Structure formats: structure tokens, C-alpha cells
Amino acid sequence: PPSFSHMEGSSGLGRADCRAEGGSTGFKVAILGAAGGIGQPLSLLMKMNPLVSVLHLYDVVNTPGVTADISHMDTGAVVRGFLGQQQLEEALTGMDLVIIPAGVPRKPGMTRDDLFNINAGIVKTLCEGIAKCCPNAIVNLISNPVNSTVPIAAEVFKKAGTFDPNRLLGVTMLDVVRANTFVAEVMGLDPREVDVPVIGGHAGITILPLLSQVKPPCSFTQKEIDYLTNRIQNGGTEVVEAKAGAGSATLSMAYAAVQFADACLRGLRGDADIVRCAFVASHVTELPFFASKVRLGRCGVEEIYPLGPLNEYERVGLEKAKKELETSIEKGVAFVKK
């Protein structure tokens, strides 16, 4: 039996529990890797989200402390902690949305692909749990390399017979958040008013900002385009180097993950016109997975938008991105099939 029974973030002495679980009043959300650099601020921000009625925090270390801490926040969500693989199934049962920031982050000099050997196995195990315990949940996959971990998740779900391409989303929202920030800085705009579509994938040259489609419409010089494209593609590395061995983006990632999860929950609730970029199973190119704008609804991805008109610079970028993406996707698929 587990040495640590799952932890209820309360004394158990409460009188009538008026906090509804799931149902029409809120959604049940699990965070896998909740004690990590991303997981902790992500748990904090999800505890503040009024759409969440139940929040399950799962990790292989330190969830009792994080759960006790977060559970003292006087917001609506009921928080429960789960520690170690023997509690994974309990953590997942009944969930509407599962967010996965589990796995190792980059250190200076590493590419996201260097994380493959460790994170592929972690994602595979967690997705086997999802297939068994909450096969209808929406999955937001953050663990890198996203370009390979999403195909891994898809293969695991296919093997289990539960794959629904509309419910599996690789989180590329941080690339959009960065693009909005950097474009706003260059153009002297308020970042809250800027919307940059970022397509392709989530690593280096596969991150393709469509600066020709920025809203509000902006006209950039070639120098600005080169600067912005390079900074958006290497934003993650900028943080890895600044942290100098202490990890990669965690705070801005938690912010981006919550923006994305909130969009998924609003879609589930039935809100109209919820459109975000995400790395999903797709037919917009010849590749089986691709990041582009998608509309989120009651069943997850309800529509994948075409890329729209690209300029010559973007067309060249797209061809380079597709080559690298193809390799990363195949690597993920092969990992599960081997």
C-alpha cells in the first residue's frame, strides 16, 4: 500500500461541503509534475481560476508540501495532492483537463531534443495512466521536446484505443506570449493588444512567427523581421542562459500554460470563438502534426484554421521548419512503436 495516502488539502472536519465537484459548476483539472519549476506557479494560478472546482496535484516528489501550501488559498477549487506512481491513477480518475509539465528542463548548451531520452519515458507512462483513467480528458502537453512528446502521447493513446486527435494539444502558447511581447516592444504598442500567430512547432527554427499576419497590422523592416524572428525562436534559450544552469522558463511558462488551459476550459464550457495556437494532429501541411491556430470547443479542437497567406520569407522558413519537424515527429512515433 502507498506510504502516503492522497492528501486532502483540508482538516476533514468541515461541515456540509458546499463546494461542488465538477458538474455544471466547474471542471476537474490535474497537473502532472505539479511540484516543479513550472508546476508550482501553474498550480497557484489554476487554484485562482474560477472555472476549476477540483485541482489534483501529482508529482513523484514534494506534492504534500505544495498541496498544503496551495490549499490555504481562499479560492473555490478543492485541492488534493498525489505522490508517486502508485497514486497516479487516483490523481487522474474523473479529470476533464490534464496539464503535463513533468520532466527535466534544459541547461545551457542543450537543445530541447537533448531532453528526449528522459522525458519520452515520463510522458509515455503518464499518458498510459490517462488512457486508463480519464480517456476523454483534454490533454495539454508542456514537457519537451513538444515536437516529439505529442506524437508519443498520440501513439500511446492509439495503442490503448482511446486516441481522439481533438483532445491532445501540445502547448506552444509561450511562443505566442513571447512574440506578442517582443513585437509590442519594437512597435511601441501595448502587448495586450498584439496578437502574433506562431505556427510550426516548439523548438528553434520550427517556431515560425507569422509577422505578416500580426494584429494590429504592422509593417516591419527586414532588419526588424530578422531580429524578431530570431528572438522569438530563441526566447527559451535566452532564459536558459540567464538562469545559468538553474533551469528554463518556468514563470512565463506557467502564465502561458494558464492562459491556454483557461481557453480550453472556456471551450469546454461552450464559449464561442476561442482561438489559440497549438501543436496538434493536423492536415494543414503534409505532416501529421503541426502548430497553427485552432478553435477550441466542447470536444477540444473543433476547427483547425489554414495558415493564411505567407510571404516569401515565411515560405522559406516553413520549408526549413517542416524538415526538422518531420524528424522530431518520427522520433516520437518510433519511441512508442519500437
Spell out, one character per residue from 310 to 329, where the chain touches ligand NAI: x when CB under 6 A holds, - when not. --------------------
Piece of 3-11, 29-37, 304-312, 327-335 that binds ligand NAI (CB under 6 A)? 29-37
CB of 256 to ligand NAI, least distance (A): 7
- Which CB sits closer to ligand NAI, 103 or 165? 103
248 binds ligand NAI per the rule CB under 6 A:
yes
- Which CB sits closer to ligand NAI, 101 or 204? 101
Piece of 136-144, 181-189, 281-289, 301-309 that binds ligand NAI (CB under 6 A)? 136-144
32 binds ligand NAI per the rule CB under 6 A:
yes
Residues 164 to 183 in contact with ligand NAI, rule: CB under 6 A: 171, 174
* Residues in binding contact with ligand NAI, number by CB under 6 A: 33
36 binds ligand NAI per the rule CB under 6 A:
yes
155 binds ligand NAI per the rule CB under 6 A:
no
For cell 505544495, name the residue. Answer: 66
Could you tell me if 4 and 28 are in contact, meaning their C-beta atoms sit under 8 angstroms apart? no
60 binds ligand NAI per the rule CB under 6 A:
yes
Set 6, 72, 202, 283: catalytic member: 202
156 binds ligand NAI per the rule CB under 6 A:
no
Residues 6+ apart with CB under 8 A from 55: 29, 30, 31, 43, 46, 47, 70, 77, 78, 79, 80
Piece of 70-78, 139-147, 161-169, 326-334 that binds ligand NAI (CB under 6 A)? 139-147
Burial, 306: exposed, middle or buried (Cβ in 10 Å; 0-12, 13-18, 19+)? Answer: exposed
253 binds ligand NAI per the rule CB under 6 A:
yes
| Residue positions annotated with a catalytic role | 202
Residues of the shown chain interacting with ligand NAI in the complex, contacts defined by CB under 6 A: 32-33, 35-39, 59-61, 101-106, 115, 119, 122, 125-126, 142-144, 146, 171, 174, 202, 247-250, 253
